[in-house]
Amino acid sequence: MARKKNIRNITDLPSFNGFKPIGIKNTDSIILLSDEYETIRLIDYNGLKQEEVAEIMNVSRPTVTRIYEKARIKISKAIIEGKSLLFHIEDININQGWQECVECGMKFNLFEGETNIKCPICNI
């Protein structure tokens, strides 16, 4: 029997729901999970080492490697095959300050000092 999956800590979520290739209608979609997005963001965008990412996300370094590899494969497949890339938020711990829109379900963060709570997608 497989061991229970640890709940990952996520420090940032995308402010949009995904990407779609231009000029292609009704494409198949590839789902990028929030922990996969987080590893790409922390390693590639922020330039952190896998050991640092493992500590932030509350997982082992080998787990970060597996998550990161899955994310890279999904992203390259979406680009090469012209598929939409959609973000999916699963069972995770999100750092404080995150809001969830009651209308569309989008999760978003407020900037420091911001008091106007409106969804960036549906503006409600």
Amino acid symbol at 92? I
Dig out the tokens for 91 from the structure.
């069972």
Mean pLDDT in the chain? Answer: 81
Domain assignment present for 78: yes
The reported pLDDT for the residue numbered 96 is 52
Q: Count structural domains, the chain.
A: 1
Domain assignment present for 103: no
Domain assignment present for 110: no
Domain assignment present for 13: no
What range defines the domain where residue 48 resides? Answer: 26-90
Domain assignment present for 122: no
Domain assignment present for 9: no
SS (H, E, C) the chain: CCCCCCCEEECCCCCCCEECCCCCCCCCEEEEEHHHHHHHHHHHHCCCCHHHHHHHHCCCHHHHHHHHHHHHHHHHHHHHHCCEEEEECCCEEECCCEEECCCCCCEEECCCCCCCCCCCCCCC
More confidently predicted of 105 and 43? 43
Domain assignment present for 41: yes
Domain assignment present for 97: no
pLDDT of 67 > 70? The answer is yes
The reported pLDDT for the residue numbered 1 is 62
* pLDDT tens track for 4-49: 666 777 877 777 888 899 888 877 899 999 899 999 999 999 999 9
Dig out the tokens for 5 from the structure.
């999956």
| pLDDT range class, residue 53, cuts 50, 70, 90 | very high
| CATH code of the domain covering residue 51 | 1.10.10.10
